[in-house]
A and B are shown apart, each in its own frame.
Chain A
Amino acid sequence: MSQVSAVPVAGAPSVPTIPFGQLAPWALFFGLLGTLVLFFVSTDQGAVSLLAGTAIHEWVHDGRHLLGYPCH
């Protein structure tokens, strides 16, 4: 896309890219882990309960409100 538009000036090499193939496993792993963590902070033991009880909800309660997630 952009590589054709600019003739690389000496001292300003064109920006390297990271192949999507190299990125994919990291994105998949961290994406899943991150979604799970976000779920526990934002939603669990509210609208949906993965774990029984209210302890997690109680513990992150103020964060849930102040970070803008629906709480109660």
Chain B
Amino acid sequence: MTARAFLIRGLIAGLVAGIATFFVAYSVGEPHVETAIALEESGTAAEEAPTDASHDHGDEAAGGHSHTHSHSHGDEGEDTEVSRDSQRTWGLLTGSLAVGLVLGGIVALVAAGTIGRMGRLQPGQSTALITLLGFVAFALVPFLKYPANPPAVGSGDTIGDRTALYFGFVVVSVLTAVAATYVALRLRNRLGTYGGVVAGAAGYLAVMVVAGQLFATVNEVGDFPADTLWFFRRASLFTLATMWGVIGVVLTGLVGRLYAAQTERAQRRALAASL
């Protein structure tokens, strides 16, 4: 049980997770990215088109926003450097693999630091718990405050503010989760496991509810069709859940096997010594 052994297993888990994430993102998410881009393009073209009462939201998706984002989506010409075909295949695979490897490695190193330090949890169990906490703190709770947006939603003018808000919220969430876990483990000595876990979870929840109130709300949805927005966001959540779920499953399995092998070696040595 060394940091190196954990990191290697984390990178393996991250590689598998990155591949799985790509397939989920490609098959579940890309259709809605394509729909959004089609709306974005027809939206800019149809700004002068007659708006047909209040029901035809599709054609005016981008209406009301000054779309000054510097990048195009492949079909728009101008400064196109990467085609849509590349973006939704190799580009998406690159992003998925890179994020998978990074998250896998980081989760494994955090798990390495917590084995034997989380009550009586076995290494595999504490690793699974760390991954679950990582998903909640790094992905799920930030998503609830600042959900993913498809192309065509969001003004290029506010990307700076939205990026700062998003990562600020992620930092608050992760730091709060770390503190809450530490408090839960300390309280466990006095209150028992049940009391410690409830206190830690309640503490995290309380801080994040307050933070959620303090952080500015972003709403640049405009007239973007609600069904496409929901489908895209649901697909994004599936993508994130795949990433973290696969990291958790693979890494927990690998750490469990590592510990079992080490335990067996130690037992054999003890047996040999006792003879």
Interface size on B, residues (CB 8 A): 75
For window 42-72 of A, CB contacts with B under 8 Å fall at 42-43, 45-48, 53-55, 57-72
Q: Report the minimum CB–CB distance from B3 to chain A (whole Å).
A: 4
Contact partners of A69 in chain B: CB under 8 A: 148, 163, 166
Interface of B, secondary structure class, is: helix
A47 touching B115, Cβ below 8 Å: no
Contact partners of A70 in chain B: CB under 8 A: 146, 149, 154, 159, 162-163, 166
Distance in angstroms between the alpha carbons of A55 and B55 in the assembled complex: 38
Distance in angstroms between the alpha carbons of A68 and B151 in the assembled complex: 12
Contact of B112 among A23, A37, A45, A58 (CB under 8 A): A23
Which chain A residue lies CB-closest to B40? A72
Distance in angstroms between the alpha carbons of A44 and B105 in the assembled complex: 21
Q: Report the minimum CB–CB distance from B173 to chain A (whole Å).
A: 13
Distance in angstroms between the alpha carbons of A41 and B150 in the assembled complex: 16
Distance in angstroms between the alpha carbons of A22 and B24 in the assembled complex: 37
Which chain B residue lies CB-closest to A3? B116
Residues of A in contact with B (beta carbons under 8 Å apart): 1-2, 5-6, 11, 13-18, 20, 22-23, 26-27, 30-31, 33-34, 37-38, 40-43, 45-48, 53-55, 57-72
